[in-house]
């Protein structure tokens, strides 16, 4: 009987030691798993965590002008369009198109322009970097930021059914004129005010950017000499244009790949 009791006690002791060992191994395993989870690197970048596609607008500093009004549109296919208006300068509007790529850090993009311009992509903004790829600091830092435009939940203003006010014509700033143009989806009608007379006609869009105007007609009212000069140039543009571009609240009428013939801003 005593032998049975001793044997049972030994078995109980061995079972207790086995449970403690298993518990200790489980605890150590859990601690290792927690440690691994805590040290896992954060893979979130601007490229994979932000809604970066869209149009960005701002006025960059300029050494010999009032500022460079800049509009950049980033497309999902890695192409971009940019319009840069050197304020106060004749023939100061430049339009570029090309492609951009993400740098390895997933935070910056590089444009395929002649200057290889770099931007840091932030939440609803682009920050232009200096030549060494660093964020500009100091008093002018805030002027190197382009803000994303969020209109009508699309990030851009539609070409059609928008009133486009003329702001630059053949490189000349237009500041005191009611000239505008609008493209109506209703029967593809184009109409507007040329500076003195009203005009209307038809339009066709092909390949998203090509533009053809036809059946143009104007009223025959006589106005001041200055208004008539604007009108003459405006009507010449309408007879010459073969494509357009959109960037944020800016629209340009162009001939081939030349500098924009006319620049417009959307009337809110």
Contact 168, 262 (CB under 8 A): yes
Residue 88, pLDDT score: 83
Q: Tell me which long-range contacts 11-17 makes (C-beta under 8 A, separation of at least 24).
A: none
Residue 150, pLDDT score: 52
Q: Consecutive 10-residue runs of the chain (268 residues): their mean pLDDT?
A: 50 51 49 46 78 86 89 89 85 86 93 92 93 90 84 65 92 91 91 94 93 95 91 96 90 92 88
C-alpha dihedral (64, 262, 183, 76), degrees to nearest 10: -50
Residue 130, pLDDT score: 93
Cα–Cα distance between 244 and 257 in angstroms, integer? 10
Residue 18, pLDDT score: 52
Domains and CATH numbers, the chain: 46-148 (2.40.128.640), 163-266 (2.40.128.270)
Residue 39, pLDDT score: 45
Cα–Cα distance between 69 and 85 in angstroms, integer? 5
């Amino acid at each position: 009987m005593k032998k049975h009791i001793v044997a049972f006690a030994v078995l109980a002791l061995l079972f207790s030691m086995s449970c403690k060992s298993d518990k200790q191994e489980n605890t150590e395993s859990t601690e290792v798993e927690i440690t691994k989870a805590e040290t896992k690197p954060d893979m979130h970048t601007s490229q994979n965590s932000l809604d970066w596609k869209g149009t960005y607008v701002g006025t960059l500093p300029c050494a010999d002008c009032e500022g460079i009004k800049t509009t950049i549109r980033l497309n999902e296919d890695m192409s971009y369009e940019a319009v840069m208006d050197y304020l106060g300068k004749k023939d100061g509007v430049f339009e570029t198109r090309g492609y951009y790529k993400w740098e390895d850090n997933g935070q910056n993009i590089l444009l395929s322009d002649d200057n290889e311009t770099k931007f840091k992509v932030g939440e609803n903004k682009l920050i232009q970097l200096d030549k060494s790829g660093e964020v500009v600091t100091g008093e002018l830092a805030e002027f190197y930021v382009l803000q994303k435009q969020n209109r009508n939940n699309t990030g851009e203003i539609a070409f059609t059914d928008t009133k486009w006010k003329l702001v630059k014509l053949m490189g000349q700033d237009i500041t005191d004129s009611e000239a505008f143009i609008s493209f109506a989806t209703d029967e593809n009608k184009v109409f507007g005010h040329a500076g003195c007379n009203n005009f209307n006609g038809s339009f066709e869009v092909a390949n998203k950017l090509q533009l053809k105007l036809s059946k143009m007609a104007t009223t025959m009212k006589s106005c001041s000499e200055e208004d008539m000069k604007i009108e003459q140039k405006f009507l010449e543009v309408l007879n010459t244009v073969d494509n357009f571009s959109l960037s944020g609240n800016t629209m340009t009428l162009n001939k081939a790949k030349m500098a924009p013939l006319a620049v417009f801003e959307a009337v809110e």
